[in-house]
């Protein structure tokens, strides 16, 4: 009897141990599959980056690193790429396109986008092969709607101050890039979105675009250099009028007051301003080495 009970106890212990081993094994398989999926995703990103990189090994390594870094910038798995960086080739070699891609928030500038743009600009500053940078939207009908107010509403007051300071520094970095910069405005550019465009050397917009520093409607003032750059571009008196009234102008009016360099009719693809910006950048390529910064 004792031997029988001992045998039953051993069997129960053996079954329990077996279940535990199976559970551990299942967990290990789950982790392995997760890692494989992540590696597969990174491999796809690296492959995509490789296709858009230059042919030289050193340039390839640098540009692929930059492309992969942008995908890993604090965005969780499955989220959209909030900033797309493309190094163009062939007759466009030397042109870099930065495309904001936050469709759900009309390209509003959040902490992640500002941080990512800042990192990309730091790399572009020292890249001697870059001749012109184009800022555009990957979202139809919008350039940038300004700061992400939903995100800001959840910030502590100290975080808001830090964010505004970081945004201002980043937009100043755009203005100080040692190569020509072009803003391709294929839709609305309001608040911080227009401030980003004002920091560029040249602005191209479609007739249907809507532009304005509208912060005074919210009882605040433009915080990323708009109050300084707008007067320099269109004159002090007119700049005050637009800021005090929070007026929004279309492409034709923006051209008439000197806010933009070129105005074009929108096309079916919704990228007419970008196409005009690309043509301008192509004109710059034979002439441009570096831009003198005053």
Active-site annotation holder among 67, 147, 184, 254: 147
Active-site annotation holder among 146, 192, 226, 251: 192
Give phi and psi for 286, each to the nearest 5.
-65, -25
Q: Confirm whether 147 is a catalytic residue.
A: yes
Nearest to 124 by CA among 99, 92, 89, 87: 87
CA distance 250 to 205: 9
CA distance 191 to 227: 11
Using a 10 angstrom Cβ sphere, with 0-12 exposed, 13-18 middle and 19 or more buried, the burial of residue 52 is middle
Reduced to 3 states (helix: H, G, I; strand: E, B; else coil), residue 280 is helix
Reduced to 3 states (helix: H, G, I; strand: E, B; else coil), residue 156 is coil
Q: Confirm whether 192 is a catalytic residue.
A: yes
CA distance 176 to 293: 7
Rounded (5°) CA angle 240-223-262: 60
Active-site annotation holder among 49, 145, 195, 205: 195
Distances in whole angstroms, Cα of residue 38 to Cα of each of 26, 44, 73, 81: 18, 10, 15, 16
In angstroms and rounded to an integer, the radius of gyration of the C-alpha atoms of the chain is: 26
CA distance 117 to 122: 9
Give phi and psi for 103, each to the nearest 5.
-60, -40
Q: Confirm whether 265 is a catalytic residue.
A: no
Reduced to 3 states (helix: H, G, I; strand: E, B; else coil), residue 100 is strand
DSSP conformational letter for 178? S
Structure tokens given for 42: 């990174």
Q: Confirm whether 141 is a catalytic residue.
A: no
Active-site annotation holder among 49, 191, 205, 215: 215
Residues serving a catalytic function are 147, 192, 195, 215
């Amino acid at each position: 009897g004792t031997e029988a009970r001992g045998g039953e106890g051993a069997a129960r212990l053996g079954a329990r141990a077996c279940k535990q081993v199976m559970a551990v094994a299942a967990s290990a398989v789950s982790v392995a599959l997760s890692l494989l999926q992540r590696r597969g995703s990174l491999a796809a990103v690296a492959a995509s980056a490789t296709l858009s990189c230059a042919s030289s090994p050193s340039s390839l390594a640098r540009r692929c690193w930059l492309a992969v870094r942008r995908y890993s910038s604090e965005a969780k798995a499955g989220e959209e790429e909030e900033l797309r960086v493309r190094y163009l080739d062939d007759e466009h070699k030397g042109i870099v396109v930065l495309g904001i891609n936050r469709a759900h928030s009309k390209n509003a500038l959040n902490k992640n986008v500002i941080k990512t743009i800042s990192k990309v600009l730091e790399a572009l500053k020292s890249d001697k092969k870059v001749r012109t940078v184009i800022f555009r939207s990957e979202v139809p009908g919008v350039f940038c709607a300004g700061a992400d107010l939903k995100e800001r509403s959840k910030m502590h007051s100290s975080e808001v101050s830090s964010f505004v300071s970081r945004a201002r520094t980043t937009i100043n970095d755009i203005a100080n890039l040692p190569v020509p910069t072009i803003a391709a405005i294929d839709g609305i550019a309001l608040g911080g979105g227009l401030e980003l465009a004002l920091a560029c050397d040249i602005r191209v917009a479609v007739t249907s675009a809507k532009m304005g520093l509208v912060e005074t409607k919210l009882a605040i003032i433009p915080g990323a250099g708009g109050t300084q750059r707008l007067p320099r571009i269109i004159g002090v008196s007119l700049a005050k009028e637009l800021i005090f009234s929070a007026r929004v102008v279309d492409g034709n009016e923006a051209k008439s007051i000197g806010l933009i360099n070129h105005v074009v009719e929108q096309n079916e693809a919704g990228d007419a301003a970008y196409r005009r910006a690309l043509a301008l950048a192509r004109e710059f390529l034979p002439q441009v080495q570096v831009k003198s910064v005053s």
